[in-house]
A and B are shown apart, each in its own frame.
Chain A
Amino acid sequence: MKKDFVNGIVAAGFALFVYAEAGRFAEGGASLSRNPALYPRILAAIVFAIGVILIVRGIIAFVKARGGERQKSTTDTNGMRYVALTVGLLVAYVGAIHLLGFVIPTLAFTLTTPMVLGTKFKTAVLVSIPVTAILYVVFFIFFKVPIPSGILFQ
Chain B
Amino acid sequence: MNWELYTAGFRLFDANAISFMVLGVVLGLVVGSLPGLTATMGVSILVPLTYGLSMTAAIMMLLGVYCSANYAGSISATLVNIPGTPSAVMTTLDAYPMAQKGEAGRAIGIATLSSSLGGLFSVVTLALFSPLIASIALKFNSFEMFLVAFWGISMMAYVSPGSTLKGLLAGFVGLIIATIGYDPVTAAPRFTFGESNLLSGVNFIAAMIGLFGVSEILLNIEKPGQNVRQEIFKIEGSLRSFREVIKLWAVVLRSSVAGVIVGAIPGAGGTIAAIVAYAQQKRFSKHPELMGKGAPEGITAAEAANNACTGGAMTTLLSLGIPGDAVTAILIGAFILHGIQPGPFLFQKNFDLVSAIFIGMVFINILFLVFGMFGARYLARLLFIPRSILNTVILALSVVGTYAVQASMFDVIVMLIFSGLGYLMTKQEIPRAPMVLALILGPLLEQNFRRWLSLADGQYGATLLDTYTHNPVSIVLSLLVVATIIFPLIRRSGKATLIKVNDQP
Binding site for B on A (CB under 8 A): 3, 6-7, 11, 14, 18, 21-22, 25, 27, 30-34, 36-37, 39-40, 43-44, 46-47, 50-51, 53-54, 57, 76, 78-80, 82-83, 86-87, 90-91, 93-94, 97-98, 102, 106, 109-110, 113-114, 117-119, 123-124, 127, 131, 135, 138-139, 143-148
Chain A: minimal CB distance from B482 (Å): 14
Contact with A along B392-432 (1 / 0, CB 8 A): 11011101110110010100110010011001000011100
Task: Check if B407 sits within 8 Å of A33, measured CB to CB.
Answer: no
Task: Identify whether the interface residues of A are mostly helix, strand, loop, or mixed.
Answer: helix
18 new A-B pairs (CB below 8 Å) besides A51-B169, A86-B391?
A3-B428, A25-B189, A36-B186, A47-B172, A50-B168, A94-B409, A102-B400, A110-B392, A113-B388, A114-B388, A117-B387, A117-B388, A124-B389, A139-B400, A139-B401, A143-B50, A143-B51, A146-B407
Task: Check if A90 sits within 8 Å of B454, measured CB to CB.
Answer: no
23 A–B contacts from the bound complex (CB under 8 Å): A7-B428, A25-B183, A33-B454, A40-B176, A44-B176, A46-B172, A54-B166, A57-B165, A79-B221, A79-B222, A83-B222, A90-B416, A94-B409, A94-B416, A109-B392, A109-B395, A110-B393, A110-B396, A114-B386, A114-B392, A117-B226, A118-B388, A146-B403
Task: Check if B185 sits within 8 Å of A87, measured CB to CB.
Answer: no
From B53, B173, B395, B412, A11 is in contact (CB under 8 Å) with B173
* CB-nearest residue of chain B to A32: B453
Task: Check if A119 sits within 8 Å of B227, measured CB to CB.
Answer: yes
Q: Which residues of A contact B409 (CB under 8 A)?
A: 94, 98, 148
CA distance A110 to B191 in the complex (A): 36
- A39-B450, A43-B176, A106-B396 are known contacts. Are A94 and B413 too (CB-CB below 8 A)? yes
CA distance A90 to B172 in the complex (A): 29
Interface residues on B, range: 35 or more
* CB-nearest residue of chain B to A37: B190
Task: Check if A47 sits within 8 Å of B173, measured CB to CB.
Answer: yes
Binding site for A on B (CB under 8 A): 48-53, 165-166, 168-169, 172-173, 175-176, 179, 183, 185-186, 188-191, 214, 217-218, 221-224, 226-227, 386-389, 391-393, 395-397, 399-401, 403-404, 407, 409, 412-413, 416, 419-420, 423, 428-430, 446, 449-451, 453-454, 457-458, 460, 494
Chain A: minimal CB distance from B202 (Å): 14
CA distance A37 to B446 in the complex (A): 12
Q: Which residues of A contact B401 (CB under 8 A)?
A: 139
Task: Identify whether the interface residues of B are mostly helix, strand, loop, or mixed.
Answer: helix
CA distance A4 to B396 in the complex (A): 34
* CB-nearest residue of chain A to B454: A33
Chain A: minimal CB distance from B144 (Å): 18
CA distance A40 to B393 in the complex (A): 38
Q: Which residues of A contact B460 (CB under 8 A)?
A: 32
* CB-nearest residue of chain B to A14: B173
Q: Which residues of A contact B186 (CB under 8 A)?
A: 27, 30, 34, 36
Task: Check if A119 sits within 8 Å of B389, measured CB to CB.
Answer: yes
Task: Check if A33 sits within 8 Å of B399, measured CB to CB.
Answer: no
Task: Check if A94 sits within 8 Å of B392, measured CB to CB.
Answer: no
Considering the complex of A and B, which 5 residue pairs feature the smallest CB-CB distances, nearest first?
A117-B388, A79-B222, A33-B453, A36-B183, A33-B454
Most buried by A among B172, B397, B428: B172
Chain B: minimal CB distance from A86 (Å): 6
From A78, A80, A91, A139, B49 is in contact (CB under 8 Å) with A139
* CB-nearest residue of chain A to B179: A40
Q: Which residues of B contact A90 (CB under 8 A)?
A: 214, 395, 399, 416, 419
CA distance A78 to B420 in the complex (A): 18
From B168, B175, B183, B458, A31 is in contact (CB under 8 Å) with B458
Q: Which residues of B contact A118 (CB under 8 A)?
A: 226-227, 386, 388
Chain B: minimal CB distance from A25 (Å): 5
CA distance A7 to B494 in the complex (A): 16
CA distance A64 to B188 in the complex (A): 48
* CB-nearest residue of chain A to B173: A47
Task: Check if A117 sits within 8 Å of B391, measured CB to CB.
Answer: yes
CA distance A54 to B189 in the complex (A): 31
Task: Check if B494 sits within 8 Å of A57, measured CB to CB.
Answer: yes
- A33-B453, A36-B186, A119-B227 are known contacts. Are A21 and B214 too (CB-CB below 8 A)? no
* CB-nearest residue of chain A to B192: A25
CA distance A30 to B404 in the complex (A): 40
Q: Which residues of A contact B183 (CB under 8 A)?
A: 25, 36
Task: Check if A11 sits within 8 Å of B413, measured CB to CB.
Answer: no
Chain A: minimal CB distance from B39 (Å): 20
* CB-nearest residue of chain B to A51: B169
- A90-B416, A118-B226 are known contacts. Are A135 and B397 too (CB-CB below 8 A)? yes
Q: Which residues of A contact B214 (CB under 8 A)?
A: 90
Chain A: minimal CB distance from B199 (Å): 13
Task: Check if B165 sits within 8 Å of A54, measured CB to CB.
Answer: yes
Chain B: minimal CB distance from A123 (Å): 8
CA distance A21 to B391 in the complex (A): 38
Task: Check if A22 sits within 8 Å of B227, measured CB to CB.
Answer: no
Task: Check if B218 sits within 8 Å of A138, measured CB to CB.
Answer: no
Task: Check if B221 sits within 8 Å of A83, measured CB to CB.
Answer: yes
Q: Which residues of B contact A30 (CB under 8 A)?
A: 186
Chain B: minimal CB distance from A1 (Å): 9
From A82, A91, A144, B52 is in contact (CB under 8 Å) with A144
Task: Check if B450 sits within 8 Å of A33, measured CB to CB.
Answer: yes
CA distance A117 to B185 in the complex (A): 50
From B166, B226, B386, B404, A146 is in contact (CB under 8 Å) with B404
